[in-house]
Structure 1
Amino acid sequence: MRSEQLTLEDVEAIALGRQTLAVTEKQMHAVENAHKFLCRAISDRKRIYGVTTGYGPLATTEVDPRQSALLQQNLVHHLCSGVGEPLTHPQVRAMMVARLISLLSGHSGANPLLIKRMQEWLDADMVPFIPCRGTVGASGDLTPLAHLARALSGGGKVSIKGGLWIESRDAHQQLGWQPLVLKGKDAISLVNGTSATVGIALLNATAAERALKFSTLLVLLYAELLNGHREAFHPAIGQLRPHPGQQKLHSWLWSLSASSDALVPWCAESGNLNLKGEDIQQNQPLLQDAYTLRCAPQALGAVLDVISQHATTVNIELSAVTDNPLLFAEDELILHGGNFFGQHLAFASDHLNNALIQMALYSERRIARITDPLRNKGLPAFMQPLDTGLHSGFMGAQVCATSLVAELRSQAMPASIQSIPTNADNQDIVPLGTIAARRASTSLTQLYQILAIEALVLVQGAELKTIHSLSHSSQVVCAWLRQYALPLKEDRPLSEDITRVAEALIDPDKVKSLIDLLA
């Protein structure tokens, strides 16, 4: 897959190891020109931050170019201070792709050999151990990217094709490579950018959109089980409140519900009052449903707008050059600035996290209503059709969903407002975008677990009612889910079922047949 103008879905496919990354001649030409310009500038004894000077508040120290390799090595060593569990295999691959795309613009001055080696790592599916904690995202993702640079230099640990962690030097020997010697601007070009945050946020963007679409399909199935009014989905309602997300939800739900015989159909002419000599007539059929049905386009539409805004920010950042200093070879210009400051991604990730939590809450409220025999239109309590009381059905699973929402709410404090000065007050403001992106990633995992519980409950309900009256899309959802979980008759442990369904939902290939319903 060509590295120019990649979509978020393209990069996700590369991160999952299902596509390869191809570098173009034009890009390599730009990299070579920038590197040659850098080498000339170093030979001319130009003062270049991080190349002929120290780092951060130590940039007042001038460094002889003959110490270049040691300077770059020491940068990597002092920044390799990350702690905690490693980023996931796809997150690290996404980070590597994002860093490559930035370097390939030809404004960083990295050695072409570095580009080639990173591409070889992706092709071999080799990833470094990247501790998830330790970066503030102010001068870019210094700490996680330094662990990448260390591994490229033969230090630290790596995994090949998802295998056990082994020493990087042993992996290099196994693949017939020599570890790189980083010099010139190689190390600072690697570490001084937002690529770790971009990689995580990129995977969040694609996964969040799929979660929204699956939630939309569940909304329709939920509405059908409760014999909801199709009228609430009418596109004309969205025309009067033209938020793009809400209008899209009206369009999807109106179209998908057209094949349903389980909803109360809409007709242009409303009925007449049923008054027989009285001015008040009680206990008549409801004209409209609870908000979990009636406000679905508004609730999920708002989430979709946030997901779209977040994806736009990530897309821009993916194509950006975010290290410092920046080289403009054609103009023979070197500029020092702050493109590494990850504020855009921090705000976008926090905003996305709030929307994900709201989507999880909305799913949990649907589970609560559909399992309650006082509100679920004749379905059994907790969807247990046999010997209710002796068996409890999805009672425990519903409690699990409630617990997950409570935990998500406890993690809702924005990371982007938690700035703490560091680095001898050189980094006197920090955006903390990586923390925000990691938090959204955790929220997505738990959201998918809640959606898995909801899907198990709703499909059980569909099979207890007349499934043939359901819309085509709901029947597809039911058939899809039964690939991963059997119907619940007698009580059984559901943990494995929930995990299996959630993992299938996260996989873009396994869920494609469902997402295509909303194409």
Structure 2
Amino acid sequence: MASAGTFTDIFVRHWQDLRNSVSDQREHVIVDGKELTLANVVATARYAQHVKVSERVIEHVGQNTEQVYGKIEDGEVLYGINTGFGGSANVRTMAIEEIQRGLIRGLHYGILSGETGSGTNTGPSIITKAKPLSAPLESTTMPECWVRASMIVRLNSLSCGASGVRPVLLERLAQHLNLDIVPRVPLRGSISASGDLSPLSYLGGVLQGKPSVQAWISEQDGIRKLVAGDDALKSLNVKPIDIRAKEGLALVNGTATSAGVGSLAVHEVLSLAALAQVLTAMSVEALCGTDESFDPFFSEVRPHPGQIDCSNSIRTFLDGSQLVLDNTGSQEFSLRQDRYAIRTAPQWIGPVLEDLALAYSQVNIEINSVTDNPIIHSSGKMLHGGNFQAKAVTSAMEKARQGCLAIGQMLFAQCTELINPLTNNGLAPNLVVDEPSQSWMWKGTDILIAALQSELGFLSNPVGHVQFAEMGNQSINSLALISSRYTLTAADVLAQLAAAHIVALCQALDLRALDVQFTSSLALAFKDLTRRCLHQCSTRESANSSSDDFANDLWLKFSQVVKQTTHMDSDVRFTNAINSLLGPLLERVTSTQQNLDVLQTWQKDCLGEACRLYKEVHAVYLEKPDAKPILGMAAKKLYSYVRDKLEVPFFGEQYIRAAEWAQQDENLKDTNSRAKYRSMGAMISAVFDAIRNGSLHLVVLECFEEASRQSNTT
């Protein structure tokens, strides 16, 4: 298979395909065994896109099925058809169809809480009434989208025509997908060695219409309902299928569940890696960093593909920003270069992007592969081998999960630098809009991201604790489904961390915009007051600069002190900053009582003007915050989405105090009269939901598409 291209190529193409597919539900995913994409899997699994098996596949599969029956009649020994299974393959049998049904039956060993009903009295009532330790259904059952992903991958694999199933089985599996009949499948129980035997057996059970298995179906009001397998088919007028020779083995002996869940995991991590690059660009702006770190020369002399890709993207994302500074190190006591979390982002993210490109390729190959055993060669020969060993999926998942850890480490560092006044380059401590002595609102977020990143560290451990199974026959096993499950868990945790970082970034960018408005307003007044003061004072002969230049120098010193003392309340901070300027002023003017009186008036006027403008500008900006005019290309898009679409506000204690106790009345038309979010957690949760349902990733896609257009015009 040809190279899928750079990470950016893969991400943009994948999301464009998914967006186009989901936007037109009339289109079907065509299943032909060769060209299924991860976007197709996601569209079918999560957005209920309909599928259709190609006519060519139906004809081809039918021809291969006849070859299986011919070999049985000729007396050829075929594994799993007229022999036992696994370590019992030395057994011969003529019960051809019964052993297929028995195979599926024997693999229904998964634990499904509540499946047998709860009427049995198993102990004293005071004990049996105990509240469950976890949600009974969710704790033992795969989410429906995981099962749908397994179904389309298995359908595509069987459509390759090398598995020996009848066309009717493919048609029925496609029908179940289109009618949204989804088997209830146990969460655990697969070692992904001889494929995902048990999970796939529940697909076979529902296809047969067994009352011993369960499936979800939709009622008329759209509510999902869990019913017995036979009732599911009856309610939708679907005929059960009778399992014939090889079909039981062909259904269960494959990597479809690992590959299906793995496809969803790669989709999530791919999207989060793209988001991380946008958030890094926003972090550069929020921290008033420099774009020097993304100069193309760094990648010219260290040409790793991922580093080049990431650096180009971030540099383009920063285009148009008024917050990115040219750091010359001229400011006293300032860092000459940005801290690692933004300065080395291309070198940090780059290898992750390369790993994800490979993981994408591995899973993409897997979902278009024949993974059962034995398989039928085009010559008609039955070949016995091990395509069911899902180590390729495990390899992809380990890279993706390690990528989650690396991305999380970077986002965690960026977010903590924003919140910490010692590292945030002049932002308020804890990102508060109120006086620092009155609010510590963002300390909780700092704790949240520490907890999330710690969990990512735990989840990053490799899945390699292989156990012998099935009479020692499955002596090595890939554990691919376990790895896929935990990769999705890691993606979920990383998405929560990213959501917290997004809310913090938008708050920080508003604080920057607020500060720009305040300082630009105060600068004019401050310099006017200073020039008037100097005009009224007699100066020493040693004064060697004009009053304008001196006023500018004082303003720079004032700004620097204000920036370094954000932990103080505003009036104390301004007093401290103005007092620090008296020394330079006294060195310039002569020591007369008149001059001292003028300086005292200047001191009082500057402090009064600073305090007045601070309160005035804050009140106006809080009424209608808008940081977009000073933001770069990508930050502007994501900031607009969070503020305008999700309506997550720029807020202080006043908003939260009113919101947490306010009575919500959904009938109120005036949204200003009720708070949409009651807590910081509610805001982060809204962003998290937007990440998980994919709507926020469409904004990220727009950023990459715009970057691509800009690069094509330069």
TM-score by length of 2: 0.68
2:191 to 136, 157, 164: 136
The answer as to 2:645 corresponding to 1:489 is no
Cα distance in 1, alignment partners of residues 443 and 355 from structure 2: 32
Cα distance in 2, alignment partners of residues 55 and 405 from structure 1: 44
Q: 1:251-400 maps to which residues of 2 (within 5 A)?
A: 251-265=312-326, 283=332, 285-328=334-377, 330-400=378-448
The answer as to 2:701 corresponding to 1:498 is no
Count of equivalent residues: 503
The answer as to 2:635 corresponding to 1:478 is no
1:450 to 497, 510, 513: 497
2:293 to 232, 244, 264: 232
Pairwise CA distance, 1:510: 4.5
Q: Would the alpha carbon gap of residues 389 and 179 (structure 1) be closer, same or farther in structure 2, given more than 3 Å must change?
A: farther
Pairwise CA distance, 1:8: 1.2
Q: Would the alpha carbon gap of residues 439 and 258 (structure 1) be closer, same or farther in structure 2, given more than 3 Å must change?
A: same
Pairwise CA distance, 1:450: 0.4
Deviations 1:421-474 (A, max 9, x none): 111111111111111111101000010000000000000111122122210211
Q: Would the alpha carbon gap of residues 18 and 238 (structure 1) be closer, same or farther in structure 2, given more than 3 Å must change?
A: farther
Please state whether the residue corresponding to 1:164 is helix, strand or coil.
Answer: strand
- Larger deviation, residues 284-293 vs 399-408: 284-293
Please state whether the residue corresponding to 1:53 is helix, strand or coil.
Answer: coil
- Counterpart for residue 435 of structure 1: 482
- Counterpart for residue 204 of structure 1: 265
Cα distance in 1, alignment partners of residues 695 and 207 from structure 2: 31
Matched AA of 1:114:
L
Pairwise CA distance, 1:361: 1.8
Pairwise CA distance, 1:184: 0.7
Deviations 1:221-277 (A, max 9, x none): 1111111111101122112222211111111011121211111248xxxx7x98xxx
Please state whether the residue corresponding to 2:312 is helix, strand or coil.
Answer: helix
Larger Rg over CA atoms: 2
The answer as to 2:276 corresponding to 1:215 is yes
Pairwise CA distance, 1:165: 1.4
Pairwise CA distance, 1:76: 0.9
1:250 to 311, 323, 331: 311
- Counterpart for residue 71 of structure 2: 41
Cα distance in 2, alignment partners of residues 410 and 192 from structure 1: 31
Pairwise CA distance, 1:511: 2.6
Please state whether the residue corresponding to 1:133 is helix, strand or coil.
Answer: coil
Cα distance in 2, alignment partners of residues 412 and 389 from structure 1: 39
Query: Which structure 1 residue ranges, 5 or more long, are not aligned?
Result: 275-281
- Counterpart for residue 700 of structure 2: 514
State the structure with bigger RCO (CA 8 A, min sep 6), 1 or 2: 1
- Counterpart for residue 19 of structure 1: 49
Pairwise CA distance, 1:302: 1.6
Q: Is the 8 A contact 2:419 2:431 kept in 1?
A: yes
Pairwise CA distance, 1:486: 2.8
Cα distance in 1, alignment partners of residues 36 and 250 from structure 2: 21
Please state whether the residue corresponding to 2:505 is helix, strand or coil.
Answer: helix
Superposition RMSD on alpha carbons, in Å?
1.8
Q: Is the 8 A contact 2:53 2:170 kept in 1?
A: no
Q: 1:405-420 maps to which residues of 2 (within 5 A)?
A: 405-415=453-463, 417-420=464-467
TM-score by length of 1: 0.93
- Counterpart for residue 279 of structure 1: none
Cα distance in 2, alignment partners of residues 398 and 359 from structure 1: 17
Q: Is the 8 A contact 2:495 2:692 kept in 1?
A: yes
Matched AA of 2:478:
P
Cα distance in 2, alignment partners of residues 285 and 375 from structure 1: 11
Query: Which structure 2 residue ranges, 5 or more long, are not aligned?
Result: 1-28, 112-138, 514-626, 657-677, 706-714
Matched AA of 1:164:
K
Please state whether the residue corresponding to 1:165 is helix, strand or coil.
Answer: strand
2:472 to 425, 428, 434: 425
Deviations 1:378-419 (A, max 9, x none): 21222221243443222212211111111121222211x211
Cα distance in 1, alignment partners of residues 438 and 374 from structure 2: 69
Percent identity (aligned):
27
Cα distance in 2, alignment partners of residues 239 and 510 from structure 1: 33
Matched AA of 2:358:
Q
Q: Would the alpha carbon gap of residues 175 and 515 (structure 1) be closer, same or farther in structure 2, given more than 3 Å must change?
A: same
Q: Is the 8 A contact 1:448 1:505 kept in 2?
A: yes
Deviations 1:284-320 (A, max 9, x none): 5433110011001111112111111110110111111
